[in-house]
Amino acid sequence: MSRLYAGTSGFAYPSWKPEFYPKEVKSKELLRHYATRLNAVEINYTYHRLPSASTLEGWLDQTADGFLFACKAHMRITHIQRLKKAEFNGLFFKAIDPLRMTGRLGPVLFQLPPNFALDQTVLAEFLAELPTDVRCAFEFRNKSWLVEPVFALLEEYNVALCLAESDKLVIPERITADFVYFRLRKSEYPMEERAEIAERVSSIVGGGKDAFVFFKHEESAAGALYAEQLLATNAVAL
């Protein structure tokens, strides 16, 4: 059964009190409260460092079955190695494997730097090495990647084109996998736009595909509240 997963990019923001987090909630309990209201989170922590087993255990302990962690791929893979084959790629997936083993791993997001232009050969070789039991999504931030041969490659390996909103780049709404990954980066979404998002997501889920929708983290709790409203609108139980 297809499902909507909605949340934000990150959760550790005390500035969301009291609009989202109650004033009395301690920093170490933020994730626990977050997971009572939303059913997924995009983790930026894994972009900067490999998580320890104890870190992952803490995340799992504070969240219930069904809550998913979408992990951003380490910057060494996307920004330094630039998708080249390397031992570190395997180390990254090994580090997050406890999430996979417990059924709590959402998609892995590979966010490429804006100055990384199209290299179809490198992409094809990288996609061929990805674990087949892990959902992956690619966020391209250089328009040279937004071409039919790249979309075809993503479809071949069931990898999602990340539908990320940006003031600098328009990503075509191409569905290339059995799930859809949205990154909604505006700081504010008027009611009309939220209604349009809800309609698009409902159509995707109704069509048999899981949808992952992550709003941008801000100093305010707006993104978290938008995600909660989206879940309520689509009648998804945590």
Neighbours of 36 (CB within 10 A): 12
Domain boundaries, the chain: 4-233
What value, to the nearest 5°, has the Cα angle with vertex 226 and ends 219 and 56?
70
Confidence of residue 77 (pLDDT cuts 50, 70, 90): very high
pTM of the full structure: 0.96
Confidence of residue 235 (pLDDT cuts 50, 70, 90): low
Q: Which fold has domain 4-233?
A: TIM Barrel (3.20.20)
Residue 153's nearest CA partner among 182, 180, 126, 179 is 126
User: What is residue 179's three-state secondary structure?
Assistant: strand
Mind listing the pLDDT tens digit for each residue in 191-229? 999 999 999 999 999 999 999 999 987 789 999 999 999
- What DSSP string runs through 77-95? IIIISTT---HHHHHHHHH
pLDDT greater than 60 at residue 238 = no
Confidence of residue 170 (pLDDT cuts 50, 70, 90): confident
